[in-house]
Chains A and B, each alone.
Chain A
Amino acid sequence: MNKEDENIDNELWSLYVEGHKQPIPPGISEKVWAGIRRRKQKRQRIMIAASVAASLALLITFFVPANQEQSDAEKRRLLQEALSMFPEEEKTPNEVDIIYEDDMIIIYVGN
């Protein structure tokens, strides 16, 4: 109770006030600050993890499709190279008798 105020002029009230004052736990400010610091560090860790994840996602976005395109181009180049090994007349016979043909295979006899 504050002495400079117009207090309740009664010892009974003082007894009641003293009995109901809540004792402050020792070191509460330090505990609070430690809690704030833990939260701060947790947030920093989350931010770092999110940044790393975003960077990885960005790298994958840029590099993986590029690799696939290179791979397709490489395949086309290899195919062309393989085809060029055969003489032109071998690729398309002038006169052929088709013995069997379906979606997958053509069997023919040519000169």
Chain B
Amino acid sequence: MTERDFKATVLPLAERIYPMIARMLNNHHSAEDAVQEIMIRMWDSRSKLGDHPNLTGYVFLTARNYCLDKVRKKSLKLHSLNGKTDAIEAQKGSSDLERDELFAIIENLLKELPDQQGEVLKLRDIDGLEYGEIAEVMSLKVEHVRVLLSRARKTVSRQLKNIYNYE
């Protein structure tokens, strides 16, 4: 892969992997460093990237493995769902307590989901990955991803309706 190809195909993925990395590491500075490190790894191995059948998926997979490794090493919590983003913190007002309560409820619902369902749901809805990319990241078939996502969404939707219809 030439420098021009790298800049056209791999470099733009820096923006796409950032949300997932920031969510997993729960730290924007660490996330920027991680993106840099992952892209340097891609650059160093660019001679092998040209023929990859799912380059985007491979970059996401590398990024996810990098984050999992970092999380294991630093004993950080895998998910940032207990934390609030800077934007949310900045917007704290009268309705914040209600929102905090809602987020806590949803976080608990996500924790109760089977691991794969929860991860697929977050990768799809929060990080914005395509089905093929999720399949590559999680070493699953696309059909399996669809099934997991459907089940996760149904469960969360049902639970939310149950909780809020009773109130």
Contacts and interface: CB of A to CB of B under 8 A. Distances in A.
B106 A16 contact: yes
Interface size class of A (residues with CB under 8 A): 20 to 34
A20 B126 contact: yes
Given A15-B99, A22-B23, A10 B15 contact: no
Interface string B129-167: 000000000000000000001100100110011001000
A10 B103 CA distance: 13
A28 B28 CA distance: 12
Contacts of B12: 29
Given A10-B157, A10-B160, A16-B106, A31 B32 contact: yes
Interface string B64-104: 00000000000000001100110110000000000100110
Nearest to A35: B36
B40 interface: yes
Contact of B18 (A12, A15, A28, A35): A28
Given A9-B157, A13-B157, A36-B40, A28 B15 contact: yes
B22 A28 contact: no
B28 A25 contact: yes
Contacts of A5: 124, 149
29 contacts: A1-B125, A2-B128, A5-B124, A6-B150, A6-B153, A8-B156, A10-B161, A13-B125, A13-B157, A13-B160, A15-B102, A19-B85, A19-B99, A20-B23, A21-B126, A22-B18, A22-B19, A22-B31, A23-B85, A23-B87, A24-B15, A24-B18, A25-B18, A29-B11, A29-B15, A31-B32, A32-B39, A35-B36, A36-B40
The 9 A-B residue pairs with the shortest CB-CB distance, nearest first, are A22-B22, A22-B19, A8-B157, A32-B39, A16-B106, A8-B153, A32-B14, A29-B14, A1-B125
Interface of A: 1-2, 5-10, 12-13, 15-17, 19-25, 28-29, 31-33, 35-36, 39
Given A24-B19, A28-B18, 12 more contacts: A2-B125, A2-B128, A7-B153, A10-B156, A10-B157, A13-B156, A21-B19, A28-B15, A32-B14, A32-B39, A36-B43, A39-B43
